[in-house]
Amino acid sequence: MFKTLKIVFALIVMTLAVAADAEELTGEYWSCKGMDSSASTYTANAKFERQAITRALENCKKDSKYPISCKATPDMCQVFNPTTTWRCAAFDNNGGNWHGEYVSSREGAISSAARSCHALSFTPSTCTVHVIACTVKERTS
């Protein structure tokens, strides 16, 4: 009898956990990235910032070849609004251009482009982002 109750309780907890992971994200939500020492990124989305950070870190540790090096911090997160998205490009002195992620604010897009350039350019100290290199997309649904 007691063993049956334990099993039923475990099934209920597992069902709730799966339902929480499959939440429908409508309106604004947080998108965070986890990163390992090989600069591979692992993205997670959630309604709350802390939850997105935790999920990104879990995804990194689960899928990375170097799970011990995984990190996810608030500066690797953006609030995402699915109706308006911005994307910017950063440039280095070697002529390389590096696009950032689509994000909900121009400031976030500028930061994302700068991070991409600093991570991928052979001369990261020369990276610059010009506001004119930013585009905005309005999604109509």
Is 23 within 8 Å of 65 (Cβ atoms)? no
- The Cβ-side half-sphere exposure at 57, using a 13 Å CA radius, reads 12
- The Cβ-side half-sphere exposure at 1, using a 13 Å CA radius, reads 0
Distance CA 25, CA 48 (A): 11
Is 62 within 8 Å of 54 (Cβ atoms)? no
pLDDT, one tens digit per residue, over 76-103 is 888 876 677 889 999 999 988 889 988 8
- Read off the pLDDT of each residue in 11-19 and give the average, rounded to a whole number: 45
Residue with tokens 């976030």: 108
β-bridge partners, 91:
97, 128
How high is the pLDDT of residue 11? Answer: 46
Q: What is the mean pLDDT of the chain?
A: 81
Q: What's this model's pTM, rounded to 2 decimal places?
A: 0.48
Position 51, amino acid:
Q
